[in-house]
Amino acid sequence: MAFPGARKIATIELRTDRDVAKARSRVSEIMKAKGSRDLMTTRFVTAVSEIARNAATHGKGGRLLVYDMPDPRLIGVECVDEGSGIEDVERAMVDGYSTRQNSLGRGLGGAKRLAKTFTIESTPGKGTVVRMTGICTTR
Amino acid sequence: MNAAAIYEVGGVLLVSITSDITDSDIIELQEMLSNRIAQSETRGVVVDISALEIVDTFVGRVLAQLTAIARLLDAETYVVGMRPAVAMTLVELGMYLPDNHTALTLDHALEKMRNAGLTDGLPRGA
């Protein structure tokens, strides 16, 4: 179980950048339906965009699962890929570190700052799982 | 690509980006816009991002690159219509877009560009 007591409400396959755009708009719709404020939605959807892109580009595809959390003010996502994994997760979280030349290396660290909770598990050769929760509303 | 459109308005190039733009669309837009700047000999570019609910590190980097490319082609770029939530999130990501001029609306951008003499195209420096 990705999050104790959570209920899966959507699954989005991530193969192309079109799927990443779809993941963004789907999570945005779900958050708005929960009464999320603009800033909360933009912050979390930005974090989702970063991790979904990672899965679609280096993860050789994956999927994004969206969860209703036991606390109705929250939303949960789990992004799973079966790519090459990340050798040094701690280093990958540092702003400015990237294995690619044309990247700023701010994606993962940025996603962590924008989410309420963030966990990452990566097994080199097997893939990566990122779990994040976001706040929709404080009331 | 239909995720962005480029128009010539008031002596500048106006780029309108739609909400569902993908990474490859925006790379394609970068190439199209560079060519249009050179062909039209424009000196001002306005990029309207009011439809974008989010600007992540990828889109932020492309916006910064667009500005740098335009500047090499002797054109200045104004980003207009950024939503407050996007500005707050970009700062949190550490992306300050220092080389992009910004304006709240297209009208403001056009006024600033007129004042800077950017709306008449070539001849440059005449």
Say if CB A52 and CB B59 are below 8 A apart: no
Contacts of B85 in chain A (CB under 8 A): 38-39, 41-43
**Can you give the pLDDT at residue A102?**
59
Contacts of A18 in chain B (CB under 8 A): 22
For chain A, the structural domain boundaries read 8-135
**Can you give the pLDDT at residue B1?**
57
**Can you give the pLDDT at residue A59?**
72
Q: Is B53 in contact with A95 (Cβ distance < 8 A)?
A: no
pLDDT at B123 over 60: no
Measured over all CA atoms, what is the biggest interatomic distance in chain B, rounded to whole angstroms?
A: 42
CA distance B18 to B48: 9
Residue reference for tokens 């480029």: B6
The alpha carbon of residue B36 is apart from the nearest alpha carbon of chain A, in Å, by: 24
The alpha carbon of residue B61 is apart from the nearest alpha carbon of chain A, in Å, by: 8
**Can you give the pLDDT at residue B2?**
65
Q: Is the backbone peptide bond immediately before A4 cis, with ω within 30 degrees of 0? A: no
**Can you give the pLDDT at residue A48?**
98
**A98-126 pLDDT per residue, tens:** 776 656 677 889 999 999 999 999 998 88
**B39-61 pLDDT per residue, tens:** 998 999 999 999 999 999 999 99
pLDDT at A33 over 90: yes
**Can you give the pLDDT at residue B122?**
59
Comparing alpha-carbon positions, the chain B residue that sits nearest to A23 is B20
**CATH 3.20.20.140, domain A8-135, yes or no:** no
Domains of chain B plus CATH, in order, are 4-115 (3.30.750.24)
User: What tokens does B117 get?
Assistant: 């003499």
Q: Average the pLDDT over A127-136 and give the result.
A: 96
**Whole-number percent of chain A with pLDDT over 90:** 69
pLDDT at A55 over 50: yes
CA distance B86 to B32: 25
**B59-116 pLDDT per residue, tens:** 999 999 999 999 999 999 999 999 999 999 999 999 999 999 999 999 999 999 999 9
**Can you give the pLDDT at residue B125?**
47
**Can you give the pLDDT at residue B126?**
44
Band (pLDDT 50/70/90 cuts) for residue A88 is: confident
**Can you give the pLDDT at residue B93?**
92
The DSSP-derived string for B93-123 is TT---TT-EEESSHHHHHHHHHHTT-SS-SS
**Whole-number percent of chain A with pLDDT over 70:** 95
- In this predicted complex, what is the ipTM? 0.90
pLDDT at A30 over 80: yes
Q: Which one of A17, A49, A95 has the shortest CB-CB distance to B54?
A: A49
